[in-house]
Chains A and B, each alone.
Chain A
Amino acid sequence: QVQLVQSGAEVKKPGSSVQVSCHVSGDTFSSHAINWVRQAPGQGLEWMGGIVPIYKISEYSEKFQGRVTFTTDESTTTAFMELTSLRSEDTAVYYCARDGYQYDVLTGYKAFDIWGQGTAVTVSS
């Protein structure tokens, strides 16, 4: 059974950076994209971008371009999201989510079939 397990809650000062990890177990790590989605308190879902480990290619939402970086570590089957220059509006729950498309065999669908439990990031002075 595939699971995505994220790192714990973070409290950060404005202007600092945060890194959230997402450990993937029970599956072929490299062949599925890992997406990052955030949800501000009481708000909807916002896609930040994603990374395809097998190609080490990332795509970033224009809104976060220049402030966010996605990386992966295949040895630990973990994906990372780093967000810099934090401001209060970045207070949100951050989710990693696997998409169902398999980039090694080019089949499947890109809806987000498995999600991490979420990581709460609070930005406050």
Chain B
Amino acid sequence: DTGVSQDPRHKITKRGQNVTFRCDPISEHNRLYWYRQTLGQGPEFLTYFQNEAQLEKSRLLSDRFSAERPKGSFSTLEIQRTEQGDSAMYLCASSVSQGANTEAFFGQGTRLTVV
């Protein structure tokens, strides 16, 4: 298993364009998380899935953001009508929900720059 992979690693887009990021979790992990990280800050929770079900979305998440995890495998995060404030590192993590075995494995992130 190669761990959590994210694609693309970097994305530069013009304001107003739509972007989509992909995350492939560790195959046996049932939970998948999306976080956003801006410069000098810790990762901020956006949303998470258990299998294919999206169980929680942050109240900070605007309706321009949508995430899916069809068939409970890979996930996509789409941002519509991007704004400069969306510029950040978008991190995906996967985990198993097994009590003391719980831990998040992170991908290398997608860095979004909105110009």
Q: Please indicate whether A and B come from the same complex rather than being unrelated chains.
A: no
